[in-house]
Amino acid sequence: MSNQAETLEFQAEARQLLQLVVHSIYSNKDVFLRELISNASDALDKLRLATLVDKDLVADTEDLHVAIEVDREARTLTVRDNGIGMTRDEVIGLIGTIAKSGTAELLRQLRESADARASQDLIGQFGVGFYAAFMVADRVTLLTRKAGETGGTRWESAGEGTYSIETVDEAPQGTTVILHLKPADAEDNLHDYTAEWTIREIVKRYSDFIAWPIRMRVERPGADGEAATSEVQTLNSMKALWARPRDEVDASEYHEFYKHVSHDWADPLEVVHMKGEGAFEYEALLFLPSHAPLDMFSPQGRRGVQLYVKRVFIMDDCEALVPTYLRFVKGVVDAHDLSLNISREILQQDRQIQIVRRRLVRKVLAAVRDLKTNHPERYRTFWTEFGAVVKEGLIDDTDNRDTLLEILSVASTNDPAELTDLAGYVARMKDGQSDIWYATGDSRATIENSPHLEAFRAKGHEVLLLTDPVDEVWVERVGQYDGRPLRSIAKGEVDLDTDEEKKQAEAEREQQRQEFAALLDWLGTTLADSVREVRLSSRLTTSPACVVGDAQDLTPTLEKMYRAMGHEIPATKRILEINPGHPLVAGLRKAQEQGGDPAALTETAELLYGLAVLAEGGELADPARFTRALADRLARTL
């Protein structure tokens, strides 16, 4: 044995997470075995792939399997595989730390979650299955050797903050995990994991579909005084779930397979099982999760489905098979005619893969459409969790844009709680209304308090309330639905009056244009550095002013988004609309006509503009100056 033994501490956040897993989360501790078997299965997959890619790799692949061994006297449970194995650095990186983004956020959510099931869901999103071993073991020993290497690594920990690691000369290929089990405790749902039937039941429930044999030596008492006998039995059926007809698979099998491929603890929301025949044959088993992963918006987040070729695992996260806006979809695609050593780069260009991708996308979107039509509660869950991501498809996926618009749901002024689809909005449009009106903002409350909404509320026109950052982009890109333009209530001129109302109000409007002409010219000159034009508003009923853009202008939010991405975007001057019926505007007109104090009038104009910017949730160029001017003005009124 070498002298490279040392004791190390777990990474701080890994240590905290480990304590939460061990002491405060799970009621069903049986899942530890599922996770260890899943890790072993992954190691076997990776070895098979490595030997296909690297013909010079010296590795034993003659009898790849997972072995489970129990020692009732020593109270140990061992899970062994002869797969890819790990180097010393990989053991430290994969087990001693959590090399993923979002750990701190995960810990915060775990501590705040009072619901044990919700906590399990959070753990599942992060994929820390190895740590579950400490729920049932006082001490865990790991012995591993990387395929193709001579030396091995021994790791051991009691899960209390430190672990020991040393290099060893002798170790079998693959990874062996030895659990020194805690005493059985029925009250704590801690079963006897040395009992054969306990292990059989767990493997059958969670891991029957694993593609590699899971073996265990079992003993049988002899009959009539004969000696006991023992034999090695395979505990799982090893049937590829995706290759079996759907009517031969029950829901629990689908659910456990989903948990295997996704490392999630919750059941999936929907199962998509399909088979492609013809020139290019494949089977696919895909799942819509019931909750979003923590890393869904992280550039380093996992995305894509597992790719198999003729039942041989090829890669874990095959991004070529699903577009980015469906990155939350999990599952397996098993192609019959691809080369076994196909690379990610080749996949991106492969014509057959592109055909499969298009079919998968159509099938997944059809499943969402079915949820929307026939299972509204499940659809509502789906859209709450993944709607912001699915809307990304409206920007680039022109082939499926009509379907995406069909499954789209957004908030609107029609109902304070329920979302609406575009078809529902169109059905409720007023007679003579040609445009679909929408508003964008950081939150529903911000939009509903915006002055832009006043005339629409007064006239009873429904407005879509879009609050996701992606909304700013897709509404511009899509442009219309069912032949009706999508129009922002904060762009262009708005006139919601009917032809009859316009005739009745024309005289009054003409009079207002004449009365306010001088004020509009003066405001345009005074605020020339901030606005391109000042005009009377037809969209305001109670607020004194608002700022709007021309029909083709970028919104302030889009400008910020493009700048954040490194684009040089010139600042766009917007239009100030004033409400001729508001006392502040009427008083300003009178004071300006009577030649009031120029400094005070200029300050009032700047305050009026600043209030309009703030009312729509915008940002002032010089907030300190604005607050000083407002404070001084308020002080003079006392």
Q: Is 35 annotated in some ligand binding site?
A: yes
CB distance 556 to 618 below 8 Å: yes
Q: Is 328 annotated in some ligand binding site?
A: no
Q: How far apart are CA 178 and CA 158, in angstroms?
A: 12
Q: How many CA atoms lie within 13 A of 138 on its CB side?
A: 8
Q: Is 344 annotated in some ligand binding site?
A: yes
Q: How far apart are CA 389 and CA 473, in angstroms?
A: 13
Q: Which amino acid is at 111?
A: R
What one-character DSSP code corresponds to residue 151? -
**Closest CA relative to residue 8, chosen from 180, 182, 163, 211:** 163
Q: Is 173 annotated in some ligand binding site?
A: no
In the beta sheet, which residues pair with residue 79?
A: 68, 177
Q: Is 130 annotated in some ligand binding site?
A: yes
DSSP letters of 261-284? HH--SSPPSEEEEEEE-SSS-EEE
Q: Is 2 annotated in some ligand binding site?
A: no
Q: How many CA atoms lie within 13 A of 619 on its CB side?
A: 7
Q: How far apart are CA 332 and CA 242, in angstroms?
A: 8
CB distance 461 to 626 below 8 Å: no
Q: How far apart are CA 447 and CA 6, in angstroms?
A: 59
Q: Is 101 annotated in some ligand binding site?
A: yes
Polymer length in residues for the chain? 638
For tokens 């009732």, name the residue. 72
Q: Is 13 annotated in some ligand binding site?
A: no
CB distance 515 to 557 below 8 Å: no
Bridge-based pairing of strands 305-309 and 312-318 is antiparallel
Q: How far apart are CA 586 and CA 206, in angstroms?
A: 74
In the beta sheet, which residues pair with residue 80?
A: 67, 176
DSSP letters of 209-258? T-SS-EEEEEEEPPSTTPPPEEEEEE-S----GGGS-GGGS-HHHHHHHH
Q: How far apart are CA 303 and CA 317, in angstroms?
A: 6
* 611 contact partners, CB below 8 Å, separation of at least 6: 544, 545
Q: Is 164 annotated in some ligand binding site?
A: no
Residue 613 neighbours by CB distance under 10 Å = 21
Q: Which two tokens stand for residue 403?
A: 């379907």
Q: In what order do the strands lie in the sheet with 330-335?
A: 270-276, 282-288, 330-335, 305-309, 312-318
* 411 contact partners, CB below 8 Å, separation of at least 6: 419, 420, 444, 464, 465, 466, 467
Q: Is 257 annotated in some ligand binding site?
A: no
Helices 598-615 and 583-593 cross at an angle (nearest 10°) of 160
Q: Is 596 annotated in some ligand binding site?
A: no
For tokens 């109670």, name the residue. 542
CB distance 210 to 43 below 8 Å: no
Which whole-number Å values give the CA distances from 278 to 241, 303, 305, 321, 518, in the listed order? 21, 28, 22, 19, 75
Q: Is 81 annotated in some ligand binding site?
A: yes
Q: Is 125 annotated in some ligand binding site?
A: yes
Q: Which amino acid is at 32?
A: F
Binding-site residues from annotation:
35, 39, 81, 86, 100-102, 125-130, 175, 344
Binding-site positions for ATP? 35, 39, 81, 86, 100-102, 125-130, 175, 344
